[in-house]
Structure 1
């Protein structure tokens, strides 16, 4: 019997560095010892509310101290965390609660209107987190229960479920990806000690949503695994983020590409910039022009990585040990294999030679145990011991993995394959352009036509000239690749994890 708990990430840092700051949020300063005491108290309160080991407890909260406190309390009680995206409608939250079999919903008062309504609709009891709010007086607060703290976290097996992440649901209803304690502890550990030069005295900005796998594993669990400090930012605004990083001496930033775009823009007016040691990008492919602009502005290399909710999430990342390569997602993390397989074969894994384009497949300690209650989808995703990512990419002779695009985002124009990321990289080198998303739209002649949805740079001297942009693309791309249609917008639609929602763009412009 092998026991392991994700709660030990916090418990061990509390034992080793009790007086070191674990968390900063606003005026709050909480040490590891204080946080672990609070967590054990909330775990006891959950048990008093009837939570038992193995129960699924949904957690709906922004990046405030309430999230990590409740997150680790659920784990310490031996229960399973079901994080809920904050941008979901009440109906979508109902699906998560119903599908996960959650017995309790912990909901921050800031999002209680949606959470409480969803809980009532499906008969799941709701407790609120955070300050007292008169309008919510009828809903019990978890903090009201002053139970005697648990002496230790409850026993769990290494393969027991720790977290159930609901995927973004680009096709059909979101599915619950079940991550074990082993998955989550190992991913935090290899991120902390093998990916980058993380140190106990680092200070990391927690601006990524903690309900998402990237923010949860890399910003929270990894930082606490090494015994360092997390500074929480409840809502990401680039200018506020820069000011907060300067004020709190933040040296580590984790973000998605849209965050890096915003930081470069905001840096133009910032009186002072933070001195960053580590900057990590994930969640979506980082355009090389954005990487170059950030590194020039902040004087810090970006280590781009790759992963999915089903892989805990980190699978590969540019690592100082191997060197970095702009445009790639680096090497597989310790104990993980990332390879390229023939994409058109579904029933088995056939690995391809170096340099060939195919589907990225992953195996290792980070791969999830399956989709909750969905054996068919699990069987499609886990083949011959590998997880099929649905992403297309290559791996070169030096071991660098490069993402070409999502299989479902591939555009086929006149029988020729067009990879949106390649087109986006070219467009973003056009002066006066801030963001670009390329999609395929139905076309009676070519099957699909290429459409670019772009956001002008707010600092540009004049309005964006669409004809010039198309001509620029035509000069730098093959005849079948350049966009024939360009839509100019103020902003691109973003999901809860700040990824561009291309499905929304396809729906809007089809």
Structure 2
């Protein structure tokens, strides 16, 4: 399948009258999505977009996102999605770095994008509802799709840049097509009668592959939520009969503690998928008890399209584990010296397979550092057991070394989540003159719950070795989060010092 847009063509031909995308009362059937994206392709072609050109887009989870995204793919372009909340300086960097020919921007976020486009010399097209609709109607749908090879770029996803300048992970048509097929067929096991929850940002790898392309590849319905809010998510789950919920751990924690609407019915929900960060075991079990659906945890990165490991639905699972490598993917744990570590010991996850990116856009040195002998080095630390199940310990850069002892924040966070008053928790290391680093915990409390700093500290101290418990505990109203809802440890402020 040389062009990822083939997914859409097949589903439109097989079930054109079925709803492909829903956003509240707004819907697009597969036939409508097919035609609208073909008009976008014609528009872009007339604006000078040629195969291989990068086309950026910045918009929330609305039906126009898949319309534009598949339109770019149809004309042979490379999709460069951006977080709508980026400021002009950040947008300009991405546009300049990838050499985007044109950027399409939602009117809600056009101010920063138009400034950035002017700075970078990129053509900008604002998707004003009436004007853009008229523009599309003026273009006849482009017939067919432009042929691409398996190795041609389809998508460039810019990493968060936590360790410096953002880098664009280049994902090919093969990367995304194989990872989508693996997700749809062996993990989610999706079909045309499924309704997938679309609360994950579509500009992110998780949302791109596991919701948008997975739904389209099988002709399922994707119901969108532009900004996650637990009350709205519950309404959508009941209203649209969501069968597969996909989210990050903070979404699960929020739904676990949210008040259920009167008459709430999520009986069609059969599966929940968690990724993006480690899901606390207490949250996993609590969600399953409340909603009656199995939660399967997986693991991946933008650089791996993203899915690399998963608790497979047709095999025994292990709560707290990210599961086993998915179809077509190999994983191993390596030491600092590069050798493979045995089961039970901690090592860095290395990944090889059709899902691994071609490299970072125009960053040959960063690519060589990340991909060695065909293996992508993730920066994540894990253990693997005798059954081949992997357990994330932490990000390599999040490791805390206190007085010469290694402390993995994930282990301490799991204990914090066991406290009945704790809603969310993050553990970080802070500088200490004698120990090198001290352990700090920042938590939020469940609605109506009360707990003192001393109670939280004593709870952990009773359950872990003396060098592991947090001496510094901060109770706050909200933890900083990124666009996918992942807790941003780099932005955490420790008050109790």
Output aligned runs, 1:34-433, within 5 Å.
34-132=32-130, 141=132, 144-145=135-136, 146-268=138-260, 271-275=263-267, 276-342=269-335, 344-345=336-337, 349-433=338-422
Change (3 A) 1:363 1:507: farther
Task: State the shift of 1:508 in Å.
Answer: 8.3
- Given candidates 481, 484, 487, the residue that maps to 1:497 is 484
Judge conservation of contact 1:82–1:165 (CA < 8 Å) in 2.
Answer: yes
Deviation at 1:196, TM superposition (A): 3.0
Alignment check: 8 A CA contact 1:45 1:142 kept: no
Distance 2:134 2:379 in 1: 42
How far the C-alpha of 1:509 sits from its partner, in A, is 8.4
The answer to whether residue 453 in structure 2 is matched with residue 453 in structure 1 is no
- How do residues 25-40 of structure 1 correspond to structure 2 at under 5 angstroms? 25-40=23-38
CA pair 254-270 structure 1, distance change in 2 beyond 3 A: farther
Distance verdict in 2 for CA 1:333–1:30, change over 3 Å: same
Distance across 1 between alignment mates of 2:20 and 2:437: 51
Q: 1:261, 1:455 → 2: CA distance?
A: 11
Q: Do the aligned residues in 2 keep the contact of 1:66 with 1:130 (CA within 8 Å)?
A: no
How far, CA to CA, are the matches of 2:495 and 2:134 in structure 1?
44
Give how far 1:354 is off: 2.2
SS at match of 2:96: helix
Provide Cα deviations, 1:67-106, integer angstroms capped at 9, x if missing partner. Answer: 0000000000100000101222211111111111111001
- 1:459 is displaced (CA, Å) by 3.1
Structure 1 gap segments, 5+ residues each: 133-139
Q: Structure 1 stretch 394-403 or stretch 143-152: which is displaced more? A: 143-152
Give the aligned partner of residue 459 of structure 2: 472
Which residue number corresponds to residue 137 of structure 1? Answer: none
The answer (yes or no) to whether the contact 2:176–2:355 under 8 Å persists in 1 is yes
| Alpha-carbon spacing, 1:415–1:505, altered in 2? closer, same or farther (3 Å) | same
The CA distance in 2 between the partners of 1:334 and 1:200, in whole Å, is 22
Give the drift of 1:339.
1.4
The superposition leaves residues 321-361 of structure 1 with CA deviations (integer Å, 9 ceiling, x where unpaired) of 2221100011111011111111x12xxx4222222210001
Do the aligned residues in 1 keep the contact of 2:473 with 2:496 (CA within 8 Å)? Answer: no
Distance in structure 2 (CA, Å) of the matches to 1:263 and 1:494:
16
Q: For the Cα contact (< 8 Å) 2:234–2:260, is it kept in 1?
A: no
Match of 1:484 among 447, 471, 481: 471
The question of whether the paired residues in 2 share the 8 Å contact of 1:329 and 1:401 is answered with yes
- Aligned-pair CA distance for 1:415: 0.4
State the distance in 2 between where 1:403 and 1:212 align: 21
Give the C-alpha shift of residue 197 in structure 1.
2.7
TM-score by length of 1: 0.95
Cα 1:306–1:367 change in 2 (3 A) is: same
Deviation at 1:267, TM superposition (A): 4.0
Q: 352-361 or 94-103, which moves further after superposition?
A: 352-361
* Separation (CA, whole Å) in 2 of partners of 1:92 and 1:213: 19
Q: Once the 2 structures are TM-superposed, how far is the Cα of residue 271 of structure 1 from its aligned partner?
A: 3.8
The SS at the match of 2:462 is helix
Contact (CA 8 Å) 1:90, 1:114: kept in 2 or not? yes
Q: Which secondary structure does the structure 1 equivalent of 2:129 belong to?
A: coil
Cα distance, 1:507 vs structure 2: 8.7
Equivalence for 1:21: 19
Contact 2:85 2:109 in 1 (8 A): no
What do the CA deviations read for 1:434-454 (whole angstroms, capped 9, x no partner)?
A: 000000000111100001010
Q: Structure 2: how far apart are the matches of 1:384 and 1:407?
A: 20
Give a deviation string over 1:221-260, Cα, whole Å, max 9, x none. Answer: 0111121110111111111111111111111110000000
Q: Deviations over 1:148-175 (max 9, x none)?
A: 1111011111100000000011100110
Q: By how many angstroms is 1:384 displaced? A: 1.3
- Label 1:413 to 1:11 Cα distance change in 2 as closer, same or farther (>3 A): same
Deviation for aligned residue 1:51: 0.9
Q: 1:16 to 1:303 in 2, by over 3 A?
A: same
Give, in whole Å, the separation in 1 of the partners of 2:473 and 2:493. Answer: 13
Q: Deviations over 1:274-323 (max 9, x none)?
A: 12111000001101111111111111111100000000000011112222
How many Å separate the matches in 1 of 2:298 and 2:409? 19
Q: Is the 8 A contact 1:437 1:454 kept in 2?
A: yes
Deviations 1:387-434 (A, max 9, x none): 000000011111111111000000000000000000000011112110
Q: Match of 1:135?
A: none
1:160-203 CA distance string (max 9 Å, x none): 00000000111001100000000001110000001133222100
Q: In structure 2, how many angstroms separate the alpha carbons of the residues matched to 1:113 and 1:260?
A: 33
Q: CA RMSD in A?
A: 1.5
Per the alignment, do residues 269 and 141 of structure 1 end up closer, same or farther by CA in structure 2, a change over 3 Å counting? closer
TM-score, normalised via structure 2 length: 0.97
